Amino acid sequence: MSSNLFDLKGKVALITGGVHGLGMAMAKGLAHAGAKIVVNDISNNAIDNALKEYKADGIDAHGYIFNVTDEAQVIAGIAKIEAEVGPIDILINNAGIIKRTPMLEMEVADFAAVINVDLVAPFIVSKAVVKGMIARGGGKIINICSMMSELGRDSVSAYAAAKGGLKMLTKNMATEWARYNIQTNGIGPGYFATSQTAPLRVEGHPFNDFIISRTPAARWGDPEDLQGTAVFLASKASDFVNGHVVYVDGGILATLGKASNED
């Protein structure tokens, strides 16, 4: 077996929305495997703060501002990245939003906004990037799906619809682009310890207790738990892996859960 199966030296990776949280954790994983990191956002402040954090971790990342739902901005942004940093070898469609509103109370505009960012944007960005990948003879696309690609939950109808659609878009990208030596796969994170979930992860909080009891690994995920999967799907190690979603969830999707009287 080659010793450099997971080596990403010389590769350029674009992580959309990779300015915090799980996107940043995956980007750092790729960087430590040798990739040159590019992140995007719609906020100057978010980009500046993210680049400082990357630098503190020894990573010389590059930041670009464009809206992933605007095709003209995406095309211009991709062209600028490839001219200034290099051709994009790895794309992680990570940018996303969620609106927690019961369906009966949800405005159509809010539903559409979630679909636009979480499902339409990966189509727009992938389409813009893949043309160069085809011309160069290969590439890696990783779509950030969710457990909501498989399961429903109260108040996240738009998010679940988008992430379910993203799972199938991933399969269709693989169907159409695998012949060009482009591997398209997804990652479905479970429940992770991030700044956003900090208020829920207090001992005794009902949701914290629910997640601990519902997860066979009996803990929240650490953002670094995503890095190995991201590196695998971005590297030569996955050159014949196409159209799959890898759920990094501590086993939640593998089990019905425990009864209330079980240990």
* Radius of gyration, alpha carbons of the chain: 18
| C-alpha to C-alpha distance for 173 and 185, rounded to whole angstroms | 9
Q: SS3 for 23? A: helix
Could you write out the DSSP letters of every residue in 68-136?
TT-HHHHHHHHHHHHHHT----EEEE---------GGG--HHHHHHHHIIIIIHHHHHHHHHHHHHHHH
Q: Which of 208, 229, 206 is nearest to 218 (CA)?
A: 208
| C-alpha to C-alpha distance for 138 and 97, rounded to whole angstroms | 29
Active-site position among 159, 180, 191, 247? 159
Catalytic residue status for 64 = no
| C-alpha to C-alpha distance for 76 and 81, rounded to whole angstroms | 9
| C-alpha to C-alpha distance for 182 and 180, rounded to whole angstroms | 5
Could you write out the DSSP letters of every residue in 178-208?
GGGTEEEEEEEE--B--TTTGGG-STT-HHH
Catalytic residues: 159
